[in-house]
Amino acid sequence: MSSETTTINPLMATYNRFPLTLVKGKGSHVWDDKGEQYLDFTSGIATCNLGHVPETVKNALQEQLNNLWHISNLYHIPSQEALAKKLTDVSCFDQVFFCNSGAEANEGAIKLARRYAQKVKKTDAYEVVTFTQSFHGRTLGTLSATGQPKIQDGFYPLLNGFRYLPYNDVDALKDLKGDKTCAVLLELVQGEGGVIPADADWIQALKQTCEDEGLLFMVDEIQTGVGRTGTLFAYEQYGIEPDVMTLAKGLGNGIPIGAVLAKAEVAQAFGPGSHGSTFGGNPMATTSGVTVLKEMTETDVLAHSQIISELLFAGLNELKDKYPDQFLDVRGRGLLVGVQTACPAIDIVNKARDKKLLVLVAGANVLRILPPLTATAEDVQTFLSIMEEILNEG
């Protein structure tokens, strides 16, 4: 018997991790285990919208930590009720269900759509239409809803009840309604799919078709919500009112939380015993959510983020004009920004990391840039300077 032993990483290899161990964060910056400082333009993948460890959220969590961590949803939870009230006050929705993640929120929306069709409308409809290049999560249900074969590979058979149409294609809307269709689910900016904003005319046509055909219009604002696109919710920029909206990421600023928001007519489909979550809406998560929303609605964070967005887009477009054979397109909304690159985007990500800047990809040739909403003009200038260094190096 060989005396050699094989060391197995106790973590399953579900991520290609960068060679970097981060141990501290504050504002727009993080530090690694060697004490090196990095400018973080990833925000935990559009999650730490208020930056790392914002004082108001930290203080609220510390106070809650001293009082109560968890209690089941069989009892009233004050911070949960306060967050639900705050969310309905600042949106077009009437009721909220809390869970723990974006995937769970989208699962809840899919279940709500089916139950509304079957229990309230008394039909046998169950199909949800989504769109090519969408991303709605990695549970079996939400990856079935996701319109990307690479995400679905190896998990067949997918769940029945989903159909995909081309994104931003008005002509394809003639095929929207099928015999069993009950709802549409879409991102207003496709994040994982390449940072593709929805066309305003297409959204208006899609919403009108849903109204004409009696289909629920559901928006996945997991990545776009809670200020990421410059308004509290991206749907506000399109002049529409969805029937259902899902949130996660920025709602907790790094504390796990998800939410399904719905109009009262739709929300009535969920009664006692129809859906649930052990940890959903727990005191820690909803305390974070209440504090985050207070910051978003009672300070100048959103107005500031719009100024930073203008600076960022202006600088990136200048680089595109200066290096047109390397930066091919700049797109997005607010501080959800994509740059189409001529080279593999991961090459730029790696070069940026060597220069103490963190950015992400959104597909093979799209750089995804996600500063915190609290980023400064100086942060943007540092980012742009590093980008130009990389482009100069070719």
Predicted confidence band at 6 (pLDDT cuts at 50, 70, 90)? confident
For residue 79, give every residue at least 6 positions away whose Cβ sits within 8 Å of its Cβ, in sequence order, or none: 64, 283, 286, 287, 289, 290
Closest to 118 (Cα-Cα) out of 228, 216, 41, 238: 216
pLDDT at 3: 53
The pLDDT of residue 15 is above 80: yes
Percentage of residues in the chain having pLDDT higher than 70: 99
Q: Work out the angle at residue 232's Cα, subtended by the Cα atoms of residues 291 and 27, and round it to the nearest 5 degrees.
A: 55
Contact 127, 142 (CB under 8 A): no
Global confidence as pTM:
0.95
Boundary (domain end) residue, out of 298, 322, 342? 298
| 142 and 158 within one domain | yes
Boundary (domain end) residue, out of 298, 324, 356? 298
Here the tokens at position 66 are 């001293």
Instruction: Flag whether 324 is in a domain.
Output: yes
Contact 280, 100 (CB under 8 A): yes
| 287 and 355 within one domain | no
Instruction: Flag whether 11 is in a domain.
Output: no
Q: How many domains does the chain have?
A: 2
Boundary (domain end) residue, out of 267, 298, 329? 298
| 332 and 203 within one domain | no
Instruction: Flag whether 283 is in a domain.
Output: yes
Taking residues 170-187, what's their average pLDDT?
97
pLDDT at 386: 98
Taking residues 285-302, what's their average pLDDT?
98
The pLDDT of residue 394 is above 80: no
| 343 and 205 within one domain | no
pLDDT tens, 120-169?
Answer: 999 999 999 999 999 999 999 999 999 999 999 999 999 999 999 999 99
The pLDDT of residue 1 is above 60: no
pLDDT tens, 51-81?
Answer: 999 999 999 999 999 999 999 999 999 999 9
Distance separating alpha carbons of residues 394 and 392, to the nearest angstrom? 5
Strand partners, 340: 329, 366
| 180 and 112 within one domain | yes
pLDDT tens, 322-368?
Answer: 999 999 999 999 999 999 999 999 999 999 999 999 999 999 999 99
Here the tokens at position 213 are 């055909």
| 217 and 174 within one domain | yes
| 350 and 284 within one domain | no
Instruction: Flag whether 9 is in a domain.
Output: no
Q: Tell me, what CATH number does 96's domain have?
A: 3.40.640.10
The pLDDT of residue 2 is above 70: no
The pLDDT of residue 88 is above 90: yes
Instruction: Flag whether 6 is in a domain.
Output: no
pLDDT tens, 220-268?
Answer: 999 999 999 999 999 999 999 999 999 999 999 999 999 999 999 999 9
Taking residues 98-123, what's their average pLDDT?
98
The pLDDT of residue 314 is above 50: yes
| 266 and 134 within one domain | yes
Instruction: Flag whether 343 is in a domain.
Output: yes
Domain boundaries, position 354: 22-53+300-393
Q: Tell me, what CATH number does 339's domain have?
A: 3.90.1150.10
Distances (CA, A) of 95 to 64, 85, 86, 208, 266: 24, 8, 11, 23, 9
Say if strands 189-190 and 196-197 run parallel, antiparallel, or are unpaired. Answer: antiparallel
| 49 and 61 within one domain | no
Instruction: Flag whether 5 is in a domain.
Output: no
The pLDDT mean for the chain works out to: 97
pLDDT tens, 194-226?
Answer: 999 999 999 999 999 999 999 999 999 999 999
| 381 and 273 within one domain | no
Predicted confidence band at 4 (pLDDT cuts at 50, 70, 90)? low
